[in-house]
Structure 1
Amino acid sequence: MEQLLMVAIKEEGLIPIVEGSMVVIVGRRGCDMNFVAQRLLERLKAYPTMYEVSEEFVARMTLMRNLGRTLREDYKTLVASFFPVIFIGGKLVGGLDQLIDIHVTGKLIPMLKEACAIWL
């Protein structure tokens, strides 16, 4: 899935943004989850670059993700969407759930320091 997402990010023209910013949130236009991810990072004094993608992009990515799961006969885990997607230091972290997970486990602050997004 990560490869599929990176191809789509490249097609959308986001590679320079992802590689040129310390922290990037790619999300659906007007999605509250973008704000949740942004607030979490801002409370840690990391100020992300926000990029909102079109509904067509979201629909295409969701369709591809669900198609892959269907082909693997993994019907129990079909999803509606996996946005926002967070990048730190040019590396894909994942969605909001992964961001929260690495924060709870204490890995987020060292990751932000390594990316020079914070100087605590």
Structure 2
Amino acid sequence: MDKVKRLVAERSVVIFSKSSCCLSYAVNILFGELGVNPLVYEIDQDPDYREIEKALMRLGCNAPVPAVFIGGKLVGSTNEIMSHHLSGDLTKMLVQSHALNKY
């Protein structure tokens, strides 16, 4: 849990991902197209990835990856990110967290 909290505190946008997960890939591409440079942490590259998965689930993630944090807060996984994107709220969150300079 400490590793997850430390990583989330380091950057405005953190995406916990797995290198083999197509949904993680799609979310990473979306943020790149929006002009955001998130910290993408590939949990399957970490020897403690099972502990990271458990920590993410305890924090409220429905699925361990992708898990997106913006401004230190869990926003959610693919469904939540896409819903926020389609409503325009994702851009607002990114601007508020200083991950994106718009408006």
Could you state the TM-score of these two structures normalised by the residue count of structure 1?
0.67
Shift of 1:33: 1.5
Report the counterpart of residue 15 of structure 1 in structure 2: 5
1:48 aligns with 2:38: yes
Cα separation, 1, equivalents of 2:83 and 2:71: 18
Q: Which structure 2 segments of 5+ residues have no match?
A: none
Superposition deviation, residue 51 in structure 1: 0.8
Paired residues in the alignment total 93
Q: Distance in 1 between matches of 2:67 and 2:95?
A: 19
Cα separation, partners in 2 of 1:17 and 1:56, compared to 1, 3 Å: closer
**CA shift for structure 1 position 35:** 1.3
Partner of 1:118: 100
Measured in 1, the distance between the counterparts of 2:8 and 2:69 equals 7
Based on CA coordinates, which of the two structures has the bigger radius of gyration?
Answer: 1
Return the offset for 1:113.
0.2
Cα distance in 1 for partners of 2:19, 2:33 equals: 22
- SS of equivalent residue, structure 2 residue 50: helix
- Which residue in 1 is equivalent to 2:81? 99
Aligned AA for 2:36?
Answer: A
CA-atom RMSD in angstroms: 2.3
Spell out structure 1 runs of 4+ moving beyond 6 A.
Answer: none
Partner of 1:57: 50
1:10-57 CA-to-partner distances (Å, cap 9, x unmatched) read 15x121110111111102242122211111111111111111224962
Gaps of 5+ in 1: 1-9, 66-78
